């Protein structure tokens, strides 16, 4: 990891390595972006993990420029005081910090802004649907002036750099892109005209911040929308803003219409924007920073070694593991907890909620999750080696307890084994890999192939026992559910049962959609039958959208608002939600994806076997890995 750990300079800025935390709004600020103790702890935790630079934001200066609840309204004095405190705390960790300046234009949230959204042209945002008003030339000049004023303010407050947000379909990107700009004056038409606002903003920012102060420019390498910016044009834009005074081109992608490119879910290949960064790097003389599914140091190092970028953004990578840079430095790469690109974090932000992370339960709880040595080391028995049990074992051991983890199968991971079988979900395998490495490093005793019974608990005599035995698939009470051609989705995914020919999948949630895709990719003719009016419920929306596209591509037939009322030897009988119509679907194999029930056989009578007990994860109530890992951590902290 020689290159990744190399120092780097950008004007007055000294970076201790090449890993950067780009702007990622975690949703921990108060109203109008008021800095909270939670926000400070979140950033300080990342600064302590060894990252070289943190860009905070987004910061909005125009009352009609906000796209989200937690954005810092730097036009309000009461917000600035908190930001100064945030800068001070990050600096205390020896990490420089920049501020992203943002104007959402037509992508502004109409419920948050004080007026009508503004844009280059009066073309509604295809996602927000609200009608913007086209900016006049004097209004454009006023916005340019404000970028300068607030960039200067950022410098005066103690920020070490600013970033002008020219990506993700926001105001500057709207001017850059024919997707949003149909002007016929000097701000529309040719590339030079469309780039005029970006160039004028940069010149004004440079005039205000002085010669030695670093300016970043965030640019979509491609927008992936019809008529939008492509890699044919974006290197030219990068060149123009470089000439205007930018020091770093920060390459990302997408607009609200293609938000899956802004925060790419696991179905995208790792490093999905590297090709665009490389194309831009070939045209500019300044450093290029790249973001997008770079969740581990190996790929980051390769990008740098191949000269495709100079700096690496890890947004979700550092949510999942703030200690990633430090672990790279210490040669503990196997112990990195990797972002699986599940998009649970951004899904919460879309709903104006603070983020949570599937794999890192500490996120947003940095204050309370401090791992403090236990007052008295105890003999702890963790039953079940799925995500809940593995996390409980890790945290309990870190607190000094003597921990033994018991697993009935021949490997750790629990349901993650089945969850990682579909072609785009292989990334989930990093969950058990991470725990295997850390549990080994922590010297947790792991007993595989060892089913726990009440007798074993009695014989082991633990001081504390944690039951994390997960769940079993539900067997719906449909006549015919016991027929030999009926199988559980988990058994199909684990290849314990073959499913070929005409397959009917009952249930269109996470498991149903995954098993349908898994089988369709192998050539089966799959139909999903779902009671609800939609499928992919419970899947974060950007991923869900892509899974639905994938199923469409693979020819999966989706029947919603239909209930299977009978399974026959050669098919299933469905009834529509009005109960006035039945249809019969032919099937060689019927696959059940109809939920799970807790595997709680050890729970009853547990308190008679051990003085201190806890029941966690799917065993408590079947949900997701996020809840399982969170409850594992909580259990470990409570023992
Ligand atoms: C196909 C599929 C896809 C999924 N996709 C996702 C996803 O994308 N994102 C997400 O967050 N969640 C997903 N989930 C759900 C997620 O896998 C579970 O919520 C999570 O694994 C629950 O963790 P757990 O540790 O509570 O239980 P489990 O993972 O079920 O682990 C329980 C462990 O206990 C062991 N065990 C049971 N009884 C005993 C015993 N008596 N003695 C010793 N060991 C025992 C089991 O062998 C197992 O290893 C998916 C699930 C499935 C089936
Ligand atoms: C919860 C969340 C909030 C984000 N907020 C911003 C933002 O305010 N401004 C911005 O330019 N990018 C934002 N991003 C995008 C990230 O900076 C980054 O470009 C993207 O997540 C892809 O990089 P990654 O794969 O390393 O996460 C956000 C991403 C997430 C997950
Ligand atoms: S929630 Fe999922 S996508 Fe977001 S940082 Fe955590 S693992 Fe990555």
- The model's pLDDT over 393-407, given as tens digits with 9 standing for 90+, comes to 999 999 999 999 999
Residue with CA at minimum distance from ligand 2 atom 29: 24
Residue 581: predicted pLDDT: 87
Residue 423: predicted pLDDT: 93
Residue 578: predicted pLDDT: 76
Residues labelled as active-site residues: 170
Ligand 3 geometric centre to CA of 316 (Å): 6
| Coil, helix or strand at residue 559 | strand
Token pair for 158: 């103690």
pLDDT band at 1; cut points 50, 70, 90:
confident
Among all ligands shown, which has an atom nearest to the Cα of 509?
Answer: 1
Residue 154: predicted pLDDT: 98
Distance CA 300, CA 449 (A): 37
Average pLDDT of span 217-223: 98
Other beta carbons within 10 angstroms of residue 175's beta carbon come to 26
Q: Which residues lie below 8 Å from residue 147, measured CB to CB, with a gap of 6+?
A: 61, 101, 164, 201, 204, 205
Using the structure block, give the residue that is written with the tokens 């005409």: 502
pLDDT band at 571; cut points 50, 70, 90:
very high
Residue to substitute in 344, 348, 430, 541 for testing ligand 3 pocket (most ligand atoms within 8 angstroms of CB): 344
Q: Are 601 and 517 in contact (CB under 8 A)?
A: no
Ligand 1 geometric centre to CA of 418 (Å): 9
Using the structure block, give the residue that is written with the tokens 């236990």: 374
Residue with CA at minimum distance from ligand 3 atom 7: 339
Q: Which residues lie below 8 Å from residue 386, measured CB to CB, with a gap of 6+?
A: 412, 413, 414, 415, 416, 468, 470, 617, 618, 628
Residue 619: predicted pLDDT: 98
pLDDT band at 374; cut points 50, 70, 90:
very high
* Ranges of H-type helices in 159-248: 171-176, 191-194, 196-209, 234-244
pLDDT band at 502; cut points 50, 70, 90:
very high
Using the structure block, give the residue that is written with the tokens 């600096």: 91
Ligand 1 geometric centre to CA of 450 (Å): 17
Sheet harboring 589-592: ordered strands across?
486-488, 589-592, 502-506, 525-529, 557-559
Among all ligands shown, which has an atom nearest to the Cα of 597?
Answer: 1
Average pLDDT of span 455-483: 97
Distance CA 156, CA 73 (A): 17
User: CA separation (Å) from 471 to 388, 599, 601?
Assistant: 12, 4, 10
Residue 40: predicted pLDDT: 98
Helices (H) and strands (E) in the chain, counts: 21, 28
Could you list the beta-strand ranges (E) of 124-240. Answer: 133-134, 161-166, 215-220
Ligand 1 geometric centre to CA of 472 (Å): 9
Residue 579: predicted pLDDT: 76
Token pair for 486: 């009926």
Q: What are phi and psi of 189, to 5 degrees?
A: 95, -105
User: CA separation (Å) from 16 to 52, 84, 160, 250, 519?
Assistant: 5, 23, 14, 18, 48
Please state the atom number of ligand 1 nearest to the C-alpha of residue 425.
Answer: 8
Residue 431 per-residue DSSP state? H
pLDDT band at 12; cut points 50, 70, 90:
confident
Residue 577: predicted pLDDT: 78
Largest CA distance in the chain: 83
Residue 370: predicted pLDDT: 86
Residue 591: predicted pLDDT: 98
Residue 83: predicted pLDDT: 97
Residue 229 per-residue DSSP state? -
Average pLDDT of span 192-209: 98
Q: Which of 310, 308, 388, 366 is nearest to 628 (CA)?
A: 388
- For the chain, the average pLDDT equals 97
Instruction: Give percent of the chain above pLDDT 90.
Output: 97
Pocket of ligand 2 contains residue 293 by CB under 6 Å: yes
Residue 8: predicted pLDDT: 98
Residue 358: predicted pLDDT: 98
Provide residues with CB under 6 Å of ligand 3. Answer: 316, 319-320, 339-345, 357-359
Residue to substitute in 388, 469, 547, 617 for testing ligand 1 pocket (most ligand atoms within 8 angstroms of CB): 469
Among all ligands shown, which has an atom nearest to the Cα of 457?
Answer: 1
Angle at 467 between CA 461 and CA 473, to 5 degrees: 145
Angle at 30 between CA 28 and CA 33, to 5 degrees: 90
Residue 293 per-residue DSSP state? S
Provide residues with CB under 6 Å of ligand 1. Answer: 342, 358, 383-389, 406-409, 414-416, 418-419, 451-452, 468-471, 490, 493, 510-511, 514, 599, 602, 617-619, 623-626, 628
**pLDDT single digits (tens) 111-146:** 999 899 999 999 999 999 999 999 999 999 999 999
pLDDT band at 186; cut points 50, 70, 90:
very high
Residue with CA at minimum distance from ligand 3 atom 5: 316
**pLDDT single digits (tens) 127-136:** 999 999 999 9
Q: Which of 388, 467, 453 is nearest to 633 (CA)?
A: 388
Ligand 1 geometric centre to CA of 616 (Å): 11
**Strands 557-559, 562-568: pairing kind:** unpaired
Residue 504: predicted pLDDT: 98
Residue 442: predicted pLDDT: 97
Ligand 2 geometric centre to CA of 270 (Å): 15
Average pLDDT of span 598-627: 95
Distance CA 457, CA 342 (A): 36
Residue to substitute in 293, 314, 319 for testing ligand 3 pocket (most ligand atoms within 8 angstroms of CB): 319
Residue 403: predicted pLDDT: 98
Q: Are 378 and 401 in contact (CB under 8 A)?
A: yes
Distance CA 335, CA 28 (A): 27
Q: Are 252 and 167 in contact (CB under 8 A)?
A: yes
């Amino acid at each position: 990891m020689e290159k990744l750990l190399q120092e780097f300079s950008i004007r007055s800025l000294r970076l201790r390595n090449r890993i950067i935390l780009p702007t990622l709004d975690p949703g921990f600020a108060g109203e109008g972006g008021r800095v909270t103790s939670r926000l400070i702890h979140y950033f300080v935790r990342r600064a302590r993990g060894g990252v070289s630079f943190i860009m905070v934001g987004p910061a909005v200066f125009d009352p009609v420029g906000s796209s989200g609840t937690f954005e810092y309204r730097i036009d309000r004095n009461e917000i600035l005081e908190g930001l100064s405190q945030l800068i001070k705390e990050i600096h205390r960790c020896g990490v420089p910090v920049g501020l992203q300046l943002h104007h959402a234009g037509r992508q502004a949230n109409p419920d948050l802004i004080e007026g009508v959204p503004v844009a280059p042209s009066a073309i509604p945002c295809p996602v927000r649907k609200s009608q913007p008003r086209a900016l006049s030339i004097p209004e454009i000049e006023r916005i340019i002036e404000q970028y300068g004023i607030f960039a200067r303010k950022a410098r005066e407050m103690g920020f070490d750099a600013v970033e002008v947000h020219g990506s993700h379909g926001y105001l500057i990107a709207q001017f850059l892109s024919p997707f949003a700009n149909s002007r016929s004056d000097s701000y529309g038409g040719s590339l030079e005209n469309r780039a005029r606002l970006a160039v004028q903003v940069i010149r004004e920012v440079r005039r205000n911040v002085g010669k030695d102060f670093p300016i970043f420019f965030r640019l979509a390498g491609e927008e992936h929308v019809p008529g939008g910016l492509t890699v044919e044009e974006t290197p030219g834009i990068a060149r123009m803003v470089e000439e205007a005074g930018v020091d770093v081109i920060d390459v990302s992608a997408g607009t609200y219409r293609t938000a899956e490119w802004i925060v790419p879910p696991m179905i995208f290949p790792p490093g999905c924007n590297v090709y665009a960064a490389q194309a831009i790097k070939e045209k500019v003389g300044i450093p290029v920073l790249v973001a997008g599914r770079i969740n581990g140091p190996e790929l980051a190092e390769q990008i740098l070694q191949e000269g495709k970028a100079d700096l690496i953004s890890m947004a979700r990578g550092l949510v999942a593991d703030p200690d990633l840079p430090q672990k790279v430095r210490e040669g503990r790469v196997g112990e990195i907890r990797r972002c699986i690109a599940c998009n649970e974090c951004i899904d919460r932000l879309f709903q104006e909620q603070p983020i949570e992370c599937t794999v890192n339960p500490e996120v947003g709880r940095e204050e309370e999750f401090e791992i403090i040595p236990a007052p008295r080391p105890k003999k702890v028995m963790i039953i079940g080696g799925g995500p809940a049990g593995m996390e409980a074992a890790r945290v309990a051991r870190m607190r000094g307890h003597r921990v033994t983890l018991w697993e009935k199968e021949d490997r750790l991971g629990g349901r993650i084994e089945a969850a990682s079988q579909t072609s785009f979900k292989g990334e989930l395998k990093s969950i058990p890999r991470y725990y295997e490495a850390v549990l080994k490093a922590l010297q947790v005793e792991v007993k595989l192939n060892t089913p726990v019974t009440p007798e074993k608990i009695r014989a082991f005599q633990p001081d504390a026992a944690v039951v994390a035995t997960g769940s079993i698939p539900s067997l719906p009470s449909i006549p015919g559910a016991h027929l030999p051609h009926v199988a559980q989705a988990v058994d199909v995914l684990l290849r314990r049962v073959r499913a070929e020919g005409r397959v009917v999948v009952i249930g269109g949630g996470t498991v149903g959609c995954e098993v349908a895709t898994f089988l369709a990719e192998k050539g089966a003719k799959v139909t999903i039958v779902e009671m609800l009016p939609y499928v992919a419920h419970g899947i974060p929306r950007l991923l869900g959208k892509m899974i639905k596209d994938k199923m469409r591509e693979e020819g999966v037939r989706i029947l919603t608002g239909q209930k299977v009322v009978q399974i026959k030897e050669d098919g299933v009988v469905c009834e529509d939600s009005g109960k006035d119509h039945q249809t019969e679907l032919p099937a060689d194999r019927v696959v059940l994806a109809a939920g799970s029930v807790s595997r709680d056989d050890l729970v009853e009578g547990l308190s008679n076997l051990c003085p201190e007990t806890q029941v966690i994860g799917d065993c408590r109530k079947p949900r997701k890995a996020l809840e399982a890992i969170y409850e594992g951590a909580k259990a470990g902290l409570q023992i």
